[in-house]
């Protein structure tokens, strides 16, 4: 019994305490040091296309991306960055922009000082910031540019573009070891060392810890977990999490959720990105929504009201509950940008849309407001529950419309201002 009590305490305590990291400021966003875990994303537009990039950054920011990374790969892209920043500011979108630099970042930042000033953070890859004798010089140039403009740097090691000199060195040392480990483990160690050695070099140049974020992205779930656990164990830098090249559709969502979920439960991670491959012409904001949902379902943050809905079975041959759940969820997401200011705390709302009498009433009672729709062969009536008590019974062809109206009324009465409260529960009709 004592073991059960201890296990119960552990479960009730929830996720492990957050890994203690040094807090970093990126534009107007706090990362690490106990700040809420930040959701970020990246555009897939040509940054030289100013209007297209502004449109996508705005969409990502409105969807909830708290930082947005853009590719800065050539002069035309670098020249466009200050104009992108200016147009976003005019739209009232103050989301920090992160410049993604590879190979010639030192040159682009030097040749385009307005770009260097407009960005809030520079992302560089120690595997391709420079090669051989040029590596230290070009790395130093970027760090000094960050110091000059008061910017943060993310040092992002990547499995697909790992520092080959470091990897070769570690492989040779491992081959000579009396107890060699497998090549994959050596590669993971190279990832960790690449990030940490680069961070140490940046500190030597003068960049403080509170201006650095580290990442070490791989595309395999188990490798990612191992690399980040080791990175966290050996440093207190702020950490960005992400499964690189996660994939398309459900594969990418499942892989990212599994990897990030385990690390977040371990207390590791200060900012995340879910790197989904969109369908051709698909909605880029999906990765933002998935990132938010990972954090919300795990209890780390709340972004939008939760809609609980049953999966359906032979008792629910009608599609009414599916359509209503979809409509309510879409309605909530669409309205959240304005609701955030009009109804403080509305993101805490729980709504239930259930399909039959088996679990419907019980689940609806657990929600703030819930409806139990009639299943196949059941009486054509839909009881609505408010704060655990039966509130009203809806009937007829307008059940979906009537319930949506009740949800709106509930939100207005509970979150509509000082002293607002939930609707009084009257005798059930």
Whole-angstrom Cα distance, residue 222 to residue 428? 52
Annotated binding site for [4Fe-4S] cluster: 310, 313, 356, 363
Buried b (16+ CB within 10 A) or exposed e, 112-145: beebbebbbbbbbbbbbbbeeeebeebbbbbbbb
Quote the distance between the C-alpha of residue 136 and its chain's center.
33
Please, are residues 136 and 198 in contact by the beta-carbon 8 Å criterion? no
Q: Enter the DSSP assignment of 351.
A: E
Cα distances (angstroms) measured from residue 298 to each of 36, 195, 217, 223, 263: 13, 28, 22, 22, 12
Spatial CB neighbours of 130, under 8 Å, sequence gap ≥ 6? 106, 136, 137, 138, 139
Whole-angstrom Cα distance, residue 78 to residue 47? 8
Q: What is the 3-state secondary structure (H, E, C) of 241-307?
A: ECCCCCEEHHHHHHHHHHHHHHHHHCCCCCEECCCEECCCCCCCCHHHHHHHHHHHHCCCCCCCCEE
Cα distances (angstroms) measured from residue 197 to each of 178, 190, 191, 341: 25, 10, 10, 44
Whole-angstrom Cα distance, residue 274 to residue 256? 6
Give DSSP secondary structure letters for 118-187: H-SEEEE-TTTS--TTHHHHHHHHHHHHHHHHT-EEEEEEEGGG--HHHHHHHHHHHHHSSSPPPHHHHH
Q: Which of 30, 24, 21, 17 is nearest to 236 (CA)?
A: 21
Please, are residues 407 and 324 in contact by the beta-carbon 8 Å criterion? no
């Amino acid at each position: 019994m004592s073991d059960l009590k201890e296990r119960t305490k552990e479960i009730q305590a929830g996720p492990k305490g957050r890994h203690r990291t040094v807090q970093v400021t990126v534009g107007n966003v706090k990362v690490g040091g106990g700040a809420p875990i930040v959701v970020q994303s990246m555009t897939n537009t040509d940054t030289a296309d100013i209007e297209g990039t502004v449109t996508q950054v705005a969409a990502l920011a409105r969807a909830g991306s708290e930082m947005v990374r853009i590719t800065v790969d050539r002069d035309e892209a670098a020249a466009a960055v200050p104009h992108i920043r200016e147009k976003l500011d005019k739209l009232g979108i103050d989301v920090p922009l992160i410049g993604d630099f590879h190979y010639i970042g030192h040159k682009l930042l030097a040749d385009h000082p307005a770009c260097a000033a407009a960005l809030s953070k520079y992302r560089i890859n120690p595997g391709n910031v420079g090669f051989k004798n040029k590596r230290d010089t070009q790395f130093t140039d970027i760090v000094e540019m960050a110091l000059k403009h008061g910017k943060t740097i993310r040092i992002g090691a990547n499995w697909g573009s790992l520092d080959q000199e470091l990897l070769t060195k570690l492989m040779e040392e491992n081959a000579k070891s009396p107890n060699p480990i497998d090549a994959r483990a050596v590669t993971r160690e190279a990832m960790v060392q690449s990030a940490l050695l680069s961070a140490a070099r940046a500190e030597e140049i003068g960049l403080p810890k509170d201006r650095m974020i580290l990442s070490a992205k791989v595309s395999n779930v188990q490798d990612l977990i191992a690399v980040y656990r080791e990175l966290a164990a050996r440093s207190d830098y702020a950490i960005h999490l992400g499964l690189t090249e996660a994939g398309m559709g459900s594969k990418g969502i499942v892989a990212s959720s599994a990897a990030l979920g385990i690390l977040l439960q371990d207390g590791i991670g200060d900012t995340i990105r879910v790197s989904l491959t969109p369908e051709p012409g698909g909605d880029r904001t999906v990765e933002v929504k998935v990132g938010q949902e990972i954090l919300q379902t795990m209890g780390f943050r709340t972004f939008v009201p939760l809609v609980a809905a049953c999966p359906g079975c032979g008792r629910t041959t009608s599609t009414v509950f599916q359509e209503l759940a979809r409509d309510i969820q879409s309605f909530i997401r669409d309205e959240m940008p304005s609701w955030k200011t009009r109804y403080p705390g509305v993101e805490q709302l729980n709504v239930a849309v259930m399909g039959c009498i088996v679990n419907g009433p019980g689940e609806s009672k657990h929600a703030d407001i819930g409806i139990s729709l009639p299943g196949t062969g059941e009486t054509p009536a839909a009881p609505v529950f408010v704060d655990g008590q039966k509130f009203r019974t809806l009937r007829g062809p307008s059940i979906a419309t009537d319930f949506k109206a009740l949800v709106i009324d509930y939100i207005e009465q509970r979150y509509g201002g000082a002293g607002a409260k939930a609707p009084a529960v009257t005798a059930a009709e």
